[in-house]
Amino acid sequence: MEETLEFAEQVHAGKPQLPLALRLIQNTGVLTRHVVQPLEETLRHPGFEERNRVYEVESKKLCPEVVEQALANAGITAQDVDAVIYVSCTGFLMPSLTAWLINTMGFRSDTRQIPIAQLGCAAGGAAINRAHDFCTAYPGSNVLIVSCEFCSLCYQPGDDGVGSLLSDGLFGDAVAAAVVRGSGGTGVALERNASYLIPNTEEWISYAVRATGFHFQLDRRVPGTMEPLAPVLRELALSHGWDIGKLDFYIIHAGGPRILDDLSKFLDVDYQAFRHSRATLAEYGNIASAVVLDALRRLFDEGMPTPGASGVIAGFGPGITAEMAVGSWTGAPPRNGARIPHDGSASYLERDFARTTTRGIAWTA
């Protein structure tokens, strides 16, 4: 945080909005972040082409180890994976990194590829939901989720609006991976999911795509979106026979402290209920689609809940879009390679969020 405030004062010295931006950054709750390049390189702008080259090089360098650990934690191999969902909004590759992963890491050639590029921070929740849908359509399947977010590659030194300066002090870089098993495993048994778009808010979180790359745009009304989204989450839980205010765990996208504070208030849940999301925000910043995976990793690390414990996973992003799921904690059967019959109603989100990783540093679940 201290380094962030220091470089903001240097780069944007004399700008009338700087004092407000510095106060907002100090109030984000972010204590540390990690970036994929040294800070001096991050603050330069070598051009969109070079930044996208860095995105490709670093994603290919960092993702494989994370994927391998995720598969090991889930008790499966690359050959057992039926689909790969790759989520990222901070760089562009075509074909998607999914093709490179399949070709280099031993996945089957008939593995489905599902890249998600334009849901921003909501993409982590969307990936979990699409994996659940896939396993429901194809019972017994296994889906690998890979989140690769290098938000620092979107830094624009020429953007000095309050929203841009705030985002410069909020977002961090991360790679995370998750496995959704169609049967078996230990983790969250996904039982119901939903999506919701707040009408006429598509311009509130967006990119302006220019010659210099992606310019993040944030409307001042975004922090107020939890009030209309809280009833949607409440209705999802109610449709499953649950009271949203009385669940055992909450895995919520950490877009900022006000997002978490407001949702806690509108759902009538204790401040500590979102402790995993708050810890992710404090230690890594807003790591976009990887937030929900890291917050869920923390749930594992804290001590696994009692089997049958109920919970919710929710990601929020551009649109304004909410991707939500509810499920129960399930224990692990013997891992002897056998697939366990089930009715197709639940998929199992494994202890897989293998790592949140940056240049040379990894945190293992």
- Show Cβ contacts of residue 246 under 8 Å, excluding neighbours closer than 6 positions: none
Q: Per-residue pLDDT for 358 more than 80?
A: no
Q: Per-residue pLDDT for 365 more than 70?
A: no
Confidence at residue 13, expressed as pLDDT on a 0 to 100 scale? 82
Confidence at residue 30, expressed as pLDDT on a 0 to 100 scale? 92
Cis before 320 (ω within 30): yes
When pLDDT is averaged across residues 134-145 and rounded to a whole number, the result is 97
Phi, psi of 354 (to 5 degrees): -55, -50
CB atoms within 10 A of CB 73: 24
pLDDT, tens only, 276-326: 999 999 999 999 999 999 999 999 899 878 999 999 999 999 999 999 999
- Show Cβ contacts of residue 161 under 8 Å, excluding neighbours closer than 6 positions: 17
CA distance 195 to 318: 12
pLDDT, tens only, 60-108: 999 999 999 999 999 999 999 999 999 999 999 999 999 999 999 999 9
Burial of 55 (0-12, 13-18, 19+ CB in 10 A): buried
pLDDT, tens only, 18-55: 888 888 888 888 999 999 999 889 888 999 999 999 99
Catalytic position from the list 63, 89, 121, 148 = 121
CA distance 277 to 43: 27
In the block, which residue shows the tokens 């194809």?
138
Confidence at residue 337, expressed as pLDDT on a 0 to 100 scale? 37
Strand partners, 355: 364
Q: How confident is the model at residue 364 (pLDDT cuts 50, 70, 90)?
A: very low
Q: Per-residue pLDDT for 263 more than 90?
A: yes
Fold for domain 191-331? Peroxisomal Thiolase; Chain A, domain 1 (3.40.47)
Least confident of 32-41, 157-166, 185-194, 230-239: 157-166
Confidence at residue 273, expressed as pLDDT on a 0 to 100 scale? 95
When pLDDT is averaged across residues 111-128 and rounded to a whole number, the result is 96
Residues of the chain with CATH 3.40.47.10: 2-181, 191-331
Confidence at residue 343, expressed as pLDDT on a 0 to 100 scale? 36
One CATH from 3.40.47.10, 3.40.720.10, 2.60.40.1180, 2.40.50.140 for 2-181: 3.40.47.10
**151: annotated active-site residue:** no
Confidence at residue 346, expressed as pLDDT on a 0 to 100 scale? 62
Where is 229: in which H helix or E strand?
Answer: helix 226-239
Confidence at residue 169, expressed as pLDDT on a 0 to 100 scale? 85
Across 204-338, where does the E strand assignment appear?
Answer: 205-210, 213-218, 249-252, 310-317, 321-330
CA distance 247 to 264: 12
Q: Per-residue pLDDT for 184 more than 70?
A: yes
Q: What is the separation, in whole angstroms, between the first and last Cα of the chain?
A: 25
* Angle at alpha carbon of residue 246, lines to 243 and 250, rounded to 5°: 105
Average pLDDT, the chain: 88
Confidence at residue 78, expressed as pLDDT on a 0 to 100 scale? 98
Q: Please give the full DSSP string across 33-89, using - where no structure is assigned.
A: ---SS-HHHHTS---HHHHHHHHHHHHHHHHHHHHHHHHHHHT--GGG--EEEEE-S
Q: Of 181, 119, 164, nearest to 20 (Cα)?
A: 164
Confidence at residue 70, expressed as pLDDT on a 0 to 100 scale? 95
CA distance 322 to 122: 6
When pLDDT is averaged across residues 149-156 and rounded to a whole number, the result is 94
Confidence at residue 54, expressed as pLDDT on a 0 to 100 scale? 97
Q: Of 40, 9, 41, nearest to 25 (Cα)?
A: 9
Confidence at residue 33, expressed as pLDDT on a 0 to 100 scale? 93
